[in-house]
Structure 1
Amino acid sequence: MSTLTLTAFVALLAGANLAARLIIEQRIASVMSRMTGSDPDVEPSGQLSLLAVLSKHVAAVDVTSHNTKVGTFSGARVHIRLDDVRFGSGRTSIGSSQAAIDIPAAAIAQQIGAGGITVAEVRPDAAAGTLTLRMGPGGIAQVVLRPEADSGRLTLSLGAVEIFGRPAPEATRRAIEAKLPDGSGGTSYPLGMSVRSAEVTSEGLHVVLHGARTSVTSA
């Protein structure tokens, strides 16, 4: 094989591999976009993309998305790892999945405020593992929440509630608790994943989700 022929073959292979990579990225991006309501970045890994298309199998895919809706919270940053991805006729199967989600304090304030409570500020305390909210007109109430993973869902447990620096009446506590979101909004998380851990950070919440084998309808 001459040098010119070899160069042309390598260029053809590179072009085919790039085209195959785009096919994989677009197919997975279409599925994830429907689930998260955002336009994710998709990065396949493992074997060459052309071989992956021919075998209809990708060892792993990394999906990154910003300003994403997860459960009841919007504006989250999400990184999802998909393992053992297989393409079938009209469906895509995923062997397992893991997601790391960062929810900023502003998104938490927005979601809790959507329940009809004025939220002036959300202060994350990573050391204590709590979120302190200033609520009501002028932030007269101070409410402490503790995020937890409970039965595969993100929950916000109500702690101390003070109004003008004094413990709030039990009726007020119950009214606030009734308006707190459960983190899922009664809907499933993407790919049937469940919450494994919830940690308060200096910026808000860091949530880890895991998912077992599942399949989704391709676009």
Structure 2
Amino acid sequence: MDILHKKDKEETKKKLIAATGEIFMTKGYSALKASRIAYVAGVSKTLIYRYFGNVQELFKVYLSQKDFWISLEDHVDALLEANRHDSGRELAKSILESQIAYFFQNKEMQQIMRWQISEPNVIARSLADSRERLGEEMLGISDPHFKDSGVNFRALLAVIVPGIYYLVLNAKVNGSTFCGIDINKSEDIKEVQKAVNLMVDWAYEKAGS
């Protein structure tokens, strides 16, 4: 019975998370009400409070499953250990390249970013802070390489990462090109990934010279 109960609980949680995502994607954050989520999930709304505490905590679980950076959290220690040998150079390129592909393909992540910058609230700030904490851990292996080099790698990433967000959203929302780049074309995505890799390489080489 315990095994069956646990299975039922996990299935119910999945339904509630999926329902939360469906409502968020179609009606926005303000439409996330316990009764509506429960109706879409086909379960009692008391289960939201039993399994998640409240709607806000349920939404946080949904966000953590869809956000590219938060999804790396469970793997960060292994990633850092495997990439200390080059001060995180290849790790930076790999993560940024993956971020471009993930963000381009994932409509939910795109909606999350639009929501985060247009409807500031405690949950959006919490998500941003979680990304920052993860970033601090990763930058910990690159900081020594750039110390006193005159190259601010953090500032470079502060331009690259939001640039990726804007480039994708501009193409997805407006269908627009940017500097003649149409990221809806696979060949142009590859060119953007190549450009990001070049910027990372240039920064590391400049700091090392």
TM-score by length of structure 2 reads: 0.26
Larger radius of gyration: 1
Q: Which has more helix, going by share of residues?
A: 2
TM-score by length of structure 1 reads: 0.25
